[in-house]
Amino acid sequence: MYNQDTFLDAATVESVVAQTVDELTPRNVFHFNSPRQAVVGEGSILTIGKLLRQQRVKHVFAVVDKTVHELGLLSSTLRCLKRANIDCTVFSGVEREPTTEVVEQALAMLTRCDADFVLGFGGGSAMDAAKAVAVMKSCNCSVDELTDPGFEGRRSLGLGAVPTTAGTGSEVTDISVILHIDERRKFVAKLPDLMPDLAIIDPGLMLGLPPLITAATGIDALTHAIESYVSASANPLTRALATSAITGIHNELPTAVGSGGCMPARLGMAVAAYKAGLAFCNAGLGLVHAIAHQVGAQYGIPHGVANGILLPYVMEFNALVCRSQFAAIAQAMGVARESMNEREQCDASIAAVRQLLRDIGLPESLSDYGARLDDFSELANEALQDICVESNPRNVTKADVMQLLERATS
Ligand SMILES: NC(=O)c1ccc[n+]([C@@H]2O[C@H](COP(=O)([O-])OP(=O)(O)OC[C@H]3O[C@@H](n4cnc5c(N)ncnc54)[C@H](O)[C@@H]3O)[C@@H](O)[C@H]2O)c1
Ligand SMILES: [Fe+2]
């Protein structure tokens, strides 16, 4: 039986709560950033008119990959927007990875039209260019200002992203990667307002993606999942997303590469890339991306190919401090047997990544792209300044990066 007298009076409760709360130290707190809305599935692109009309959008500025536009992949979107009485201006000047020049051209066109919503449509290159111009137009700033780590500009225009590759996850990240051609460097802008408001992920737009691009972009997604899983900033939610993405990619990527018209495999890859995108934008990446950004810019290596060449070597390097995580990755890939100890499972995960890369026919050495030992000192210096190195689980020195570059060139 409770006695009324055993309860504390309100003033005492308030004072105890205040003291307790004041003495709490935030620990293991994590934030999770994602688009307000993501629409996923076969034919989901056909909802775009209705979705944007609900948001009272009047004029869309679509930043589209040139090839994607030529292939006619934007036409259903244009029809849906027209039916919804929404105007659309198309910039289709994104060819390969977005340079400062291309972003500035798109910005000039956006400034001339009266759009209230920017839509990135294509691979990571088109989506990143769209995300950059939406913030730059809102803040009236340059690419240099946008990519300055201290930049805090806010976006006033609406922003949507439609991926046509299953790789970067840019449709659900607060990141935009811009190539400075003169400096042969990639700059990574990370800003809350680079996160799209809306992502539409339709595997039907990916059915015609050629095998080599399917392979390279799929390995980019796998690298996001593996690096975010072992990241020093991982949290339970990002680890769950990353594990599930690893399973999905290991199961579906070979079919997507070898039988591109297979809708279930394309859907599996699109969802896996989406999960991996959410995982890495909230947990960070690691040394594979820190080095890949530099060699990609220096030698013109496609982003996913550069990641694929480096991934097994960086996994071997990081294994020293994350054996149990790599064992869990082997389990997610279905290559861990009960008879194996943790070290054997860890090794099995690296062997399975190597096998997958071979199966899907990606290049295995930086020497295929003309990498030269003479460049490695400078590349290592730049890799150590890349934002991605901060969340790598193992401490890294310049000598370590140079050794990894040499191994990946042999
Ligand atoms: N913002 C992020 O979070 C993030 C994450 C990782 C990488 N990135 C950046 O994204 C860029 C790479 O993006 P990507 O790997 O998607 O490649 P991409 O956008 O450069 O596209 C690769 C090629 O595929 C073609 N293509 C795209 N979709 C197609 C389709 N459906 N059918 C036929 N061809 C198609 C393009 O024309 C292009 O030639 C790099 O600049 C990279 O640094 C950004
Ligand atoms: Fe990537």
* Domains assigned to the chain: 37-206 (3.40.50.1970), 211-409 (1.20.1090.10)
Residues 6+ apart with CB under 8 A from 92: 64, 65, 66, 69
Ligand 2 centroid, distance to 246 Cα (angstroms): 14
Ligand 1 centroid, distance to 121 Cα (angstroms): 10
Q: Would you put residue 96 in left (φ > 0), alpha (ψ -120 to 50) or beta? A: left
Q: Per-residue pLDDT averaged across 354-376, rounded? A: 97
- Name the pLDDT band for 184 (thresholds 50, 70, 90): confident
- Name the pLDDT band for 18 (thresholds 50, 70, 90): confident
- Name the pLDDT band for 288 (thresholds 50, 70, 90): very high
Query: For 293-302, how does the pLDDT look when each residue is reduced to its tens digit (9 = 90+)?
Result: 999 999 999 9
Q: Hey, whose CA ends up nearest to atom 34 of ligand 1?
A: 209
Judge whether residue 20 has pLDDT over 80. no
Query: For 120-150, how does the pLDDT look when each residue is reduced to its tens digit (9 = 90+)?
Result: 999 999 999 999 999 999 999 999 999 888 8
Q: Hey, whose CA ends up nearest to atom 30 of ligand 1?
A: 209
Ligand 1 centroid, distance to 110 Cα (angstroms): 22
| pLDDT on residue 182 | 74
- Name the pLDDT band for 5 (thresholds 50, 70, 90): low
Ligand 1 centroid, distance to 367 Cα (angstroms): 23
CB-CB contact of 52 with 117 (8 Å): yes
266 to 83, 94, 258: CA distances (angstroms): 28, 24, 11
Axis-axis angle for helices 398-409, 303-318 (nearest 10) = 120
- Closest ligand to 307 CA? 2
Judge whether residue 1 has pLDDT over 60. no
Rg of the chain over Cα atoms, rounded to whole angstroms, equals 23
**Residue 205 CA, closest ligand 1 atom number:** 31
**Residue 98 CA, closest ligand 1 atom number:** 41
Q: Hey, whose CA ends up nearest to atom 9 of ligand 1?
A: 124
- Name the pLDDT band for 405 (thresholds 50, 70, 90): very high
Ligand 2 centroid, distance to 284 Cα (angstroms): 11
Q: Per-residue pLDDT averaged across 341-356, rounded? A: 98
Query: Closest by alpha carbon to 240, among 197, 282, 200, 269?
Result: 282
Query: For 195-249, how does the pLDDT look when each residue is reduced to its tens digit (9 = 90+)?
Result: 999 999 999 999 999 999 999 999 999 999 999 999 999 999 999 999 999 999 9
Residues 6+ apart with CB under 8 A from 201: 38, 39, 40, 41, 44, 162, 163, 171, 270, 271, 274
Residue to substitute in 97, 162, 219 for testing ligand 1 pocket (most ligand atoms within 8 angstroms of CB):
97
Residue to substitute in 34, 69, 121, 303 for testing ligand 1 pocket (most ligand atoms within 8 angstroms of CB):
303
- Name the pLDDT band for 264 (thresholds 50, 70, 90): very high
| pLDDT on residue 8 | 76
State both tokens at 81.
Answer: 């927007």
Query: For 48-85, how does the pLDDT look when each residue is reduced to its tens digit (9 = 90+)?
Result: 999 999 999 999 999 999 999 999 999 999 999 999 99
For residue 330, the SS3 value is helix
**Residue 73 CA, closest ligand 1 atom number:** 31
| pLDDT on residue 6 | 65
For residue 66, the SS3 value is helix
% of the chain beyond a pLDDT of 70 = 98
96 to 72, 143, 292, 296: CA distances (angstroms): 18, 18, 16, 12
- Name the pLDDT band for 370 (thresholds 50, 70, 90): very high
Query: For 80-111, how does the pLDDT look when each residue is reduced to its tens digit (9 = 90+)?
Result: 999 999 999 999 999 888 999 999 999 999 99
Ligand 1 environment, Cβ below 6 A:
65, 67-68, 71, 73, 96-97, 122-126, 128, 164-165, 167-170, 173, 175-177, 205-206, 208-209, 213, 217, 220, 303-304
| pLDDT on residue 3 | 63
Residues 6+ apart with CB under 8 A from 288: 223, 226, 227, 307, 310, 311, 314
| pLDDT on residue 109 | 98
State both tokens at 383.
Answer: 């890799």
Q: What torsion do the CA atoms of 353, 354, 359, 365 make, to the nearest 10 degrees?
A: 130
Ligand 1 centroid, distance to 168 Cα (angstroms): 7
Ligand 1 centroid, distance to 69 Cα (angstroms): 14
Judge whether residue 312 has pLDDT over 70. yes
Ligand 1 centroid, distance to 122 Cα (angstroms): 7
User: Mean pLDDT, the chain, as a whole number?
Assistant: 95
